[in-house]
Amino acid sequence: MRVIVVTSGKGGVGKTTTSAAFASGLAMRGFKTAVIDFDVGLRNLDLIMGCERRVVYDIINVINDEAKLTQALIKDKHCESENLYVLPASQTRDKNALTESGVEFVLSELEHMGFDYAVCDSPAGIEHGAVMALTFADEAIITTNPEVSSVRDSDRILGILQSKSRRALNGSEPVKEHLLLTRYSPKRVEEGEMITYKDVQELLRIPLLGVIPESESVLQASNQGIPTIHLKGSDVAEAYTDMVARFLGEKLPLRFVTYEKPGFIKRLLGGK
Amino acid sequence: MGTLLSRLFGEKKLFGEKKRTSEIAVQRLGILIAHERNNRTTRPDYMPELQRELLTVIAKYIEIDLDKIDIQLEKQGDCDVLKVDIILPEGQDAGQ
């Protein structure tokens, strides 16, 4: 089983949206996937996944042996493949209940159950919850907005991955880092108002996994509790589908990164 | 950094000039990230201790402000350079 943390340092950049879409995408490709909310006290993955009314037990219950992992896992209803499960965070408990040995136990149980991937949705910040989410990661998706504070915080979280993850501490192969740019607006980039994805990549110096365009459909999706990747025909769904394919090793060109000025560009390049 | 359109039309907009603030952002981030990464990768564990001990020695001879010392390990070509910046209080003559 591979453990993938979706992290960013900064809040509000799209970690949960990404965790939901990415985990769903892996499941749609046939992998048995669990997506775990590490934001103890402020859980939201359940809402984004649209399973908030089916939460009975959470990760802390499992760690404290108050429930079996199989009781706490919620089967996702959006993927026809029926191989995606959500493990919610506790809403009320003390954050310190999320212990390192507890997380290790949950992950090893998932592995025994035959899961291919565990996607860890990190809370914002660099405190305990965020560190717990990245501790056991094999790979990390650094979710970043093309904006100064987000880029800086992403660099800080890279530093933490390189010093506090289990892989860093025991000197094994480092955590594989991927950059995911979210809320990207090609139009604003074109107008010189927004940093280009190339610049972000040059600043952070980690491989680019994808660029997700800023889109109204993200709100439409969260309103309904449907992971964005299921919004057929939307740019965001296609960008996330591409990102999952690249994660699985496919070479795909970036889409939705250039602004096409209506009319003129079409004439110049002969249409798309 | 210029895109096809900005190369075709130049940086100027038809309706007034708009500052390309993204370039300022990239420049600021470049400096900041380089600085923060340098601190992260070249600041060994003993640095805070070293800073404290240096300070104790210096304080035996000169009255200095505890905050006015900055030590950094920098790479200059093939060499590692330990840079110690100590700001002496006004009125202290370094020659004495």
Is A189:A196 a contact under the CB 8 Å cutoff?
yes
B-chain residues near A204 (CB < 8 A): 33
Q: Residues of chain B with pLDDT > 90: what percent?
A: 14
CA–CA distance from A262 to each of A187, A201, A258, A259, B67 (Å)? Answer: 11, 28, 12, 9, 57
Task: With cut-offs at 50, 70 and 90, classify the pLDDT of residue A85.
Answer: very high
A-chain residues near B5 (CB < 8 A): 190, 259, 261, 265
Q: Given this model, what pLDDT does residue B37 score?
A: 87
- The ipTM of this complex is 0.86
- Asked if residue B13 has pLDDT above 80, the reply is no
- Measured at the CA of A182, the angle between CA A176 and CA A188, to 5 degrees, comes to 135
- Predicted TM-score (pTM) of the model is 0.81
Determine how many CB atoms are found less than 10 A away from the CB of residue A64: 13
The CA distance from A209 to A246, in Å, is: 7
Cα-only R_g, chain A: 18
pLDDT: is A207 or B80 the higher one? A207
Q: Which residue has the tokens 């136990």?
A: A105
Burial class of A98 by CB neighbour count within 10 A (0 to 12, 13 to 18, 19+): buried
Short-list A153, A184, A157, CA closest to A168: A157
Are the beta carbons of B18 and A151 separated by less than 8 Å?
Answer: no
Are the beta carbons of A192 and B33 separated by less than 8 Å?
Answer: no
Question: For B42-79, what is the HEC assignment?
Answer: HCCCCHHHHHHHHHHHHHHHCCCCCCCEEEEEEEECCE
Mean pLDDT of A19-44: 97
The CA distance from A47 to A34, in Å, is: 16
B32-91 pLDDT per residue, tens: 999 888 877 666 677 778 888 888 888 888 887 767 777 777 777 777 788 888 777 776
Instruction: Phi first, then psi: give them for residue A119, nearest 5 degrees.
Output: -100, 120
Mean pLDDT of A228-247: 97
β-pairing verdict for B69-76 and B79-86 = antiparallel
